[in-house]
């Protein structure tokens, strides 16, 4: 492509554009439809997360983490409390661990549903998006049932949870899983094996292993490139080591390993794995246990620092917390997975057509709230 060179044009995709999933500006240089360079400009959604954290107490940070990745708030909470508990050396009881895992995996399904749906939408298929949202809605109902909020939960607290799960939650969740499992096949059938979608995404935007690792790409994007790396197994935080599940990796079934189709398909496979984990966690959840048992009265971690990572739907979420022994964090850094995923854009998307660039952007599954923080 691009043998005949014409005059180059600079095109701003965003900050208001249907395909940028938020307020992101991609400045692209195009020669006709062929894109030669992509420069992302972020910061439109910058809310000074890290600066705010230096002014509020440790427990007040949790609602801010919700608002960073608003599509997977539970996982953001989870990452923070794991880091804090590691810093303060708190052990939470079994019931809390189980509930956390269930919530995080439900959140993973919800987030992946949105991602796969939006990926279809970026390629012009509107219906799968609404199907995905319909199922996501049921997960949000479960969350609302648990903590009253549908998007920003503030559910996981350092040393426990804000509420115990309500009566009937386990049954409703099982009911949802029974309903949901056939729906994954439905979504897979309408999208993954659709000839047009395969044509549009296979062999497009291939991200080789070494590039992915060098750019710090993590999560499903890294696994789609064929690296079997999942913190739930490799780092086994919380109680993930007790559950049986596979780590799906990209195999290049329709094209090359690490193409858009792989990134999309890995997420569908991961939803199945999450369903498995939730089933096991719900089955082995202890019937009693106080979710406030290890809740410290005042959070005053010892002097020191911790870097803890957890696996969110978008990849490795790291919190680097530096404590000076006061109830206010001295410095808190969030290593956000979408930030690193976006940085690889120019590397893998230059040279493709304009439509492909947006397909690649959709397959990376970025959330601007977390990139800009």
Partner 1 sequence: MSQEKEKLIAELVNKGLDGDMDSVNACEDRVTRSKVKAMIMKIKKGSLDRPQMPVSLSDTPNESDDTGKTDDKTTEDISQKIKNMLLDNFPDETDETGQDGHMYVRPDKWLDIATWLKTESSLLFDSLQCQMGIDVGEDILESRYNLHSMVHDHYLEVRIRVARSNAKIPSVEQVWRIADWFERETYDMLGIEYVGHRDLRRILLPDDWEGWPLRKDYKEQETYHGIVVPKMKEGWD
Partner 2 sequence: MTVDFIFEGLNQLFPSFAGNDIFLILAMLLPFAGLFGFITIYGFGVIYSELKVSSFIQDKTGPMGQGPGLHAGKWGLLQPVADGLKLFFKEDIIPASADKPLFILAPFLIFIGAFISIIAVPFGEKIIVADMNIGIFYVLGIGSLAVIAVILAGWSSNNKWALYGGMRSAAQIISYEIPAGISLVVVIMLTSSLSMQEIISYQAGGLFNWVIFDNPFMPIAFVIYFISALAETNRTPFDLPESESELVAGFVTEYSGARYALFFLSEYANMFVVSAVAATAFLGGWQSPFSDFLNTPIWSMFWMISKTFFLIFVMIWIRWTVPRLRVDQLMHVCWKVFIPIGLFNIFGVAIWTVLRG
Give the interface with partner 2 as residue ranges (CB under 8 A): 9, 11, 17-19, 33, 120-127, 130-131, 134, 190-191, 194, 196-197, 199-200, 353-356, 358
Q: Which does 283 bind (CB under 5 to 8 A by kind): partner 1, partner 2, none?
A: none
First to last CA, the chain: 38
Where do the DSSP E strands lie in the chain?
Answer: 9-13, 25-31, 34-41, 156-157, 160-161, 304-312, 315-323, 331-335
- Shortest distance (Å) from residue 347 CB to partner 2: 21
Please state, in angstroms and rounded to a whole number, the distance separating the CA atoms of residues 115 and 367: 10
Of the pair 191, 295, the CB lying nearest partner 2 is at 191
- CA pseudo-torsion sign 74, 80, 83, 87: negative
- Shortest distance (Å) from residue 31 CB to partner 2: 13
Q: Count of CB atoms within 10 A of residue 152's CB? A: 16
Chain contacts with partner 1 (rule: CB under 8 A): 42-43, 46, 48, 50-51, 54-57, 60, 86-91, 210-211, 213-216, 227, 229, 234, 294, 296-307, 309, 316, 318, 320, 322-323, 325, 328, 330-331, 333, 335, 339-340, 343-344, 347, 372-373
Q: Which does 2 bind (CB under 5 to 8 A by kind): partner 1, partner 2, none?
A: none
Of the pair 120, 318, the CB lying nearest partner 1 is at 318
Residue 335 sits at φ, ψ, to 5 deg, of -95, 105
CA nearest 53: which of 269, 331, 312, 283? 331
- Shortest distance (Å) from residue 344 CB to partner 2: 21
Q: Which does 253 bind (CB under 5 to 8 A by kind): partner 2, partner 1, none?
A: none
Of the pair 93, 355, the CB lying nearest partner 2 is at 355
CA nearest 164: which of 287, 296, 76, 80? 287
Please state, in angstroms and rounded to a whole number, the distance separating the CA atoms of residues 81 and 321: 11
Distances (CA, A) of 197 to 188, 224, 335, 356: 11, 17, 32, 12
Of the pair 161, 358, the CB lying nearest partner 2 is at 358
Q: Which does 174 bind (CB under 5 to 8 A by kind): partner 1, partner 2, none?
A: none
């Amino acid at each position: 492509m691009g043998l005949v060179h014409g005059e180059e044009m600079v095109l701003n995709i965003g900050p208001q554009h249907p395909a940028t999933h938020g307020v992101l500006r991609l400045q692209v240089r195009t020669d006709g439809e062929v894109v030669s360079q992509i420069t992302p400009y972020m910061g439109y959604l910058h809310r000074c997360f890290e600066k705010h954290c230096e002014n509020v107490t440790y427990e007040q940070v949790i609602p801010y983490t919700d608002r960073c990745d608003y599509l997977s708030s539970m996982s953001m909470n989870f990452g923070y409390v794991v880091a804090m508990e590691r810093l303060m050396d708190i052990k939470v009881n079994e019931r809390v661990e189980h509930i956390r895992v269930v919530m995080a995996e439900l959140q993973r399904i919800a987030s992946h549903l949105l991602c796969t749906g939006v990926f279809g939408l970026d390629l012009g298929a509107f219906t799968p998006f609404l199907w995905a949202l319909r199922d996501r809605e049921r997960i949000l109902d479960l969350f609302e049932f648990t903590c009253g909020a549908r998007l920003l939960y503030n559910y996981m607290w350092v040393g426990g949870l804000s509420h115990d799960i309500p009566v009937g939650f386990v049954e409703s969740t099982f009911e949802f899983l029974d309903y949901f499992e056939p729906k994954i096949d439905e979504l897979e059938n309408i999208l993954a094996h659709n000839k047009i979608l395969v044509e549009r995404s296979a062999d497009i935007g291939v991200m080789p292993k070494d590039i992915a690792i060098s750019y710090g790409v993590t999560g499903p994007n890294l696994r789609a490139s064929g690296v079997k790396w999942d913190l739930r197994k490799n780092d086994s935080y919380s109680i993930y080591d007790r559950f049986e599940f596979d780590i799906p990796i990209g195999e290049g079934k329709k094209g090359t390993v690490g193409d858009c189709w792989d990134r999309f398909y890995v997420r569908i496979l991961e939803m199945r794995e999450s369903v498995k984990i939730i089933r096991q966690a719900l089955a082995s959840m202890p019937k009693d246990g106080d979710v406030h048992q290890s809740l410290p009265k005042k959070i005053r971690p010892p002097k020191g620092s911790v870097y803890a990572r957890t696996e969110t739907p978008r990849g490795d979420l790291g919190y680097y917390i530096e404590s000076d022994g006061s109830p206010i964090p001295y410095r808190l850094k969030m290593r956000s997975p979408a930030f690193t995923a976006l940085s690889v854009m120019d590397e893998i998307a230059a040279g493709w057509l304009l439509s492909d660039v947006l397909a690649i952007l959709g397959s990376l599954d970025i959330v601007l709230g977390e990139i800009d923080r």
